[in-house]
A = this chain, B = another copy of it.
Amino acid sequence: MAKEITSRVNDYSQWYNDLVIKGGLADYSSVRGCMVIKPYGYAIWEKMQAALDKMFKDTGHVNAYFPLFIPKSFLSKEAAHVEGFAKECAVVTHYRLKNDPNGSGVMVDPDAKLEEELIVRPTSETIIWNSYKNWIQSYRDLPLLINQWANVVRWEMRTRLFLRTAEFLWQEGHTAHSTSKEAVEEAERMLGVYTDFAEQWMALPVIQGRKTANERFAGAEDTYCIEALMQDGQALQAGTSHFLGQNFAKAFEVQFLNKEGKQELVWATSWGVSTRLIGALIMAHSDDDGLVLPPKLAPLQVVIVPISKGEEDMKKIFEKCEPLLKELKSKDISVKFDDDNTKRPGFKFAEYELKGVPVRLAMGMRDYENGTIEVARRDTKEKSSQPFEGIGTYIENLLYEIQENIYNRAKLFRTTNTHQVNTWDEFKEVIENKGGFVSAHWDGTSETEEKIKELTKATIRCIPLNNATEDGKCIFSGKPSKERVIFARAY
């Protein structure tokens, strides 16, 4: 084997770290809590970005860029925002260094203190709405449908690569509307975009829902979310979309002249997904041999490993495969012919399994003479010998099949690991021993929600959209309830 991977059963958390580090996705940096996204990990992010960006543009959004820094006073303007938002932020207090008179290095110049401290953006509602104030005068300026691709910083104390880092990359949409209805529709539309992206690109089935008041974004009237289930039975929030009401318009005095000539406050949404999705992608599909990437997001979709004893054979195999390389490229399938003769085929096989390349082809001289090629699927690890003739179309179809299979497998896993429970004992038992999504009645109060969290570490992941109404009793308080909600322990 190329690199030793801890098995999921032995240590799930170490398995995850092994995949990230040994798979070449990311690395720790010398700055506490900040990671380096390595080329292979960044290539996945680029594929995610391209797909999402197209979906945003197809729904009428444009990109823009707002400052990295937020004046400290801005954070105080929206009361719920400042109260609810984590205060762990990077604070810029000085703007100059100077040579240290006592040494060879540099020191912070005490004379270069900022009058008002600047916060490195943890999210950009405040700085953006401060700009929108100047951009919006009339109903004709609305809706404003803007997205930003950016880095943000939240000074997390306990970090994990991709899942929780001090700095991360994300996109944040910030839209402005003339009516509440339109803003709610926008928040729901973007939840739909995230759902399509998760399911169709990441092969990740998600539950769409609303957060409880407790779990809402600070400053939001309503937070929509998509929740996914990881292989260890923990939930992961994969994206959120907020209906912000008129809260930020009030805080930053953003009004518009409506069609009747009256001043009104503007309605807002914001929505975002981040590099955290790479963590979700890894934990949802991968196995003890390495990454399993859905073909649509795999940086390399097909690899061809020639198995030859000498240069002459290698040349023959390459010449045979050259038209296939061209054919696949013309179908927009990324493919590599690995002719590195410093590594053995077995080493390469393990390496490409670790990297999660969806289809691996191998051709030796016997294949060459028989007109066949060996095809190995990463998802099922099945190998088969296929006729070389027509292999391009075969691979194209196989990639679709793998994408679908990974999705179906994750969906089956979720179904198997979603439990309806009706009593408190049952609830505790399932949360503790089985994990997964737990569908249960809840009395709708924050007190009960917090108590359950305290006792079991399970939180309400969401109140599913289009939830069936059903008379029941809260598993904890026994009070009446009209619908079930989804509980889980979560990342």
Known: A72-B97, A89-B96, A140-B342. Contact between A67 and B34, CB under 8 A? yes
Q: Is A314 an interface residue (CB 8 A)?
A: no
Q: Verify B108–A68 contact, CB threshold 8 A.
A: no
Known: A29-B131, A119-B97. Contact between A106 and B66, CB under 8 A? no
Q: Verify A42–B67 contact, CB threshold 8 A.
A: no
Q: Verify B95–A93 contact, CB threshold 8 A.
A: no
Contact string against B for A residues 32-76, beta-carbon threshold 8 Å, 1 for contact and 0 otherwise: 001111110011011000000000000000111111111111111
Q: Verify B93–A88 contact, CB threshold 8 A.
A: no
Taking CB atoms, residues of chain B closer than 8 Å to A120 are: 68, 92, 120
Q: Is A27 an interface residue (CB 8 A)?
A: yes
The docked-state distance in angstroms from the alpha carbon of A133 to that of B1 is: 25
The docked-state distance in angstroms from the alpha carbon of A97 to that of B92 is: 12
The interface of chain A, by Cβ under 8 A from chain B, is 27, 29-31, 34-39, 42-43, 45-46, 62-76, 79, 82, 87-98, 104-109, 117-120, 127, 130-131, 134-135, 140, 146, 150-151, 153, 155, 167, 169, 342
Q: Kindly list the 10 A-B residue pairs having the minimum CB-CB distance in the complex, ordered from nearest.
A: A76-B105, A34-B67, A39-B62, A37-B65, A91-B94, A87-B97, A95-B155, A93-B93, A90-B92, A31-B67
Q: Verify A36–B87 contact, CB threshold 8 A.
A: no
Residue among A104, A120, A150 with the highest chain B CB neighbour number at 10 A: A120
Number of copies: 2
Residue on B with the closest CB to A343? Answer: B140
Residue on B with the closest CB to A340? Answer: B140
Q: Verify B43–A62 contact, CB threshold 8 A.
A: yes
Q: Verify B68–A82 contact, CB threshold 8 A.
A: no
Knowing that A42-B63, A89-B95 touch, tell me 4 more A-B residue pairs with CB under 8 angstroms: A30-B71, A87-B97, A92-B120, A108-B117
Taking CB atoms, residues of chain B closer than 8 Å to A169 are: 65
Taking CB atoms, residues of chain B closer than 8 Å to A95 are: 88-91, 155
Taking CB atoms, residues of chain B closer than 8 Å to A107 are: 72
Taking CB atoms, residues of chain B closer than 8 Å to A140 are: 342
Residue on B with the closest CB to A76? Answer: B105
Residue among A66, A67, A151 with the highest chain B CB neighbour number at 10 A: A67
The docked-state distance in angstroms from the alpha carbon of A151 to that of B169 is: 12
Q: Verify A131–B27 contact, CB threshold 8 A.
A: yes
Residue on B with the closest CB to A37? Answer: B65
Q: Verify B67–A108 contact, CB threshold 8 A.
A: no
The docked-state distance in angstroms from the alpha carbon of A54 to that of B186 is: 33
Q: Verify A127–B96 contact, CB threshold 8 A.
A: no
Q: Verify A68–B106 contact, CB threshold 8 A.
A: no
Q: Verify A70–B36 contact, CB threshold 8 A.
A: no
| A139 shortest CB reach to chain B, Å | 11
The docked-state distance in angstroms from the alpha carbon of A169 to that of B150 is: 10
The docked-state distance in angstroms from the alpha carbon of A64 to that of B169 is: 12
The docked-state distance in angstroms from the alpha carbon of A106 to that of B89 is: 12
Known: A27-B134, A63-B43, A73-B105. Contact between A34 and B68, CB under 8 A? yes
Q: Verify A104–B76 contact, CB threshold 8 A.
A: yes
Taking CB atoms, residues of chain B closer than 8 Å to A72 are: 97, 105-108
| A257 shortest CB reach to chain B, Å | 14
Known: A64-B38, A67-B35, A108-B72. Contact between A88 and B92, CB under 8 A? no
The docked-state distance in angstroms from the alpha carbon of A97 to that of B73 is: 11
| A386 shortest CB reach to chain B, Å | 31
Q: Verify B130–A71 contact, CB threshold 8 A.
A: no
Taking CB atoms, residues of chain B closer than 8 Å to A68 are: 34, 120, 151, 153, 167
